[in-house]
Structure formats: structure tokens, C-alpha cells
């Protein structure tokens, strides 16, 4: 059985993962409106990952005999001044999520819930990956500078990212 305190904290994080999905869908929509199909598809894959993170929490709460609580999902922004800004905001958001996962881990540690600590370790590793994925593209965008014709090239390059269901037996998140 999971403690009420940890259940509440996980349910709050489940909501943040759902918000992440909503945010990246909004970013995908932004790129669609700019006819940048590669970036739009990349963000769509990212949104799909966030849904996976959400569902992993959803299943875990039940596995531990808890109850999921649904909170309102905040509306994400829908406009950005440039693709660079989108990825800056994306990275900023991932850094925030890393802090939230760390806080959640602190709750599990405080409660001495070792099973939850092991479970949350997957998210800790996943966040390392998430920050580096956003960081890589942001670096490329920064190198290009404003009004560069390299942007359509990058748009084509990133279409290679596809959604792949992570291996459920892999507990490291990588
Ligand atoms: Fe996530
Ligand atoms: Fe994420």
C-alpha cells in the first residue's frame, strides 16, 4: 500500500506529465502552422512520450493499491516568437520537471518507501535523456542564427525521430 502523502504527490506529478503532453502538442501545432513538418512531428513524438510517462504513473498508483485523482490540466501557451524560443521553453520546462521528480523522490525517501524509490529512478534517468534531447536541438538552432536557410534542413533531419514504446523491463529509463 502506498501512503496517502506519496499517492497525492504522484497524482500531482501525473498531472504535470499530462501538462507536458499538452505543451508539446501545442508546440507541434505551432510548427504545423509554420509548415515545419519535421519539427511538428518531433514534438508529436515528444507529446507521445509524455503520455507514456503519465500512464506509467497511472498504472503505478493502481499497482500500489492507490487511487488516481484527476486535476485540471492547465492550458499551455500557443504562440512563440521563433523555433529557437520554442526549444528554449521546452528545455526550461524539462528542467522544471527534473526538479519536480527530485522533490517526488525526496517524498519517497522520507517515507522510506524503497519500492517507490526504485520506481522513480526510471524517471530520474529519463529526465537526463529529456534535457539532453532538447539541449541538442537548441544548440543546433543557436548555431544557425536568425533567418538561416539551414532551418529547413534541420526540419528535414529531425523527421527521423519516431515513437517507440519503451521496453517495460528496462528500469533505467535509458
Ligand atoms: Fe515526462
Ligand atoms: Fe519530458
Q: What are phi and psi of 77, to 5 degrees?
A: -65, 160
The pLDDT assigned to 172 comes to 55
Pick 145 or 46 by higher pLDDT. Answer: 46
- Give me the mean pLDDT over the 77-97 stretch: 97
From ligand 1's centre to the CA of 158, what distance in Å? 20
From ligand 2's centre to the CA of 34, what distance in Å? 23
Q: Look at residue 86 and tell me whether its pLDDT is greater than 70.
A: yes
- Give me the mean pLDDT over the 160-167 stretch: 80
The three grid cell numbers given for residue 8, joined into one nine-digit string: 497525492
- Give me the mean pLDDT over the 5-28 stretch: 98
Q: In degrees to the nearest 10, what's the CA dihedral of 112, 168, 42, 69? A: -50
Q: Which ligand is nearest to the CA of 132?
A: 2
Q: Look at residue 168 and tell me whether its pLDDT is greater than 80.
A: no
Rounded-to-integer distance, Cα 100 and Cα 51, Å? 17
In 3D space, the residue among 142, 162, 158 whose CA is nearest the CA of residue 38 turns out to be 158
- Give me the mean pLDDT over the 41-46 stretch: 97
Amino acid at each position: 500500500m502506498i501512503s496517502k502523502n506519496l499517492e497525492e504527490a504522484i497524482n500531482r506529478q501525473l498531472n504535470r506529465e499530462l501538462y507536458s503532453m499538452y505543451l508539446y502538442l501545442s508546440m507541434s501545432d505551432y510548427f504545423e502552422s509554420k509548415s515545419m513538418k519535421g519539427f511538428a512531428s518531433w514534438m508529436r513524438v515528444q507529446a507521445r512520450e509524455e503520455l507514456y510517462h503519465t500512464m506509467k504513473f497511472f498504472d503505478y498508483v493502481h499497482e500500489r493499491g492507490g487511487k488516481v485523482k484527476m486535476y485540471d490540466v492547465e492550458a499551455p501557451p500557443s504562440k512563440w516568437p521563433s523555433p529557437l524560443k520554442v526549444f528554449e521553453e521546452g528545455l526550461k520546462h524539462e528542467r522544471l520537471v527534473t526538479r519536480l521528480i527530485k522533490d517526488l523522490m525526496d517524498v519517497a525517501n522520507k517515507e522510506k518507501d524503497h519500492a517507490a524509490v526504485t520506481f522513480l529512478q526510471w524517471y530520474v534517468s529519463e529526465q537526463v535523456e529529456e534535457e539532453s534531447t532538447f539541449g541538442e536541438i537548441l544548440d543546433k538552432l543557436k548555431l544557425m542564427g536568425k533567418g538561416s536557410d539551414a532551418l529547413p534542413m534541420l526540419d528535414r533531419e529531425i523527421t527521423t525521430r519516431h515513437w517507440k514504446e519503451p521496453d517495460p523491463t528496462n528500469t533505467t529509463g535509458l
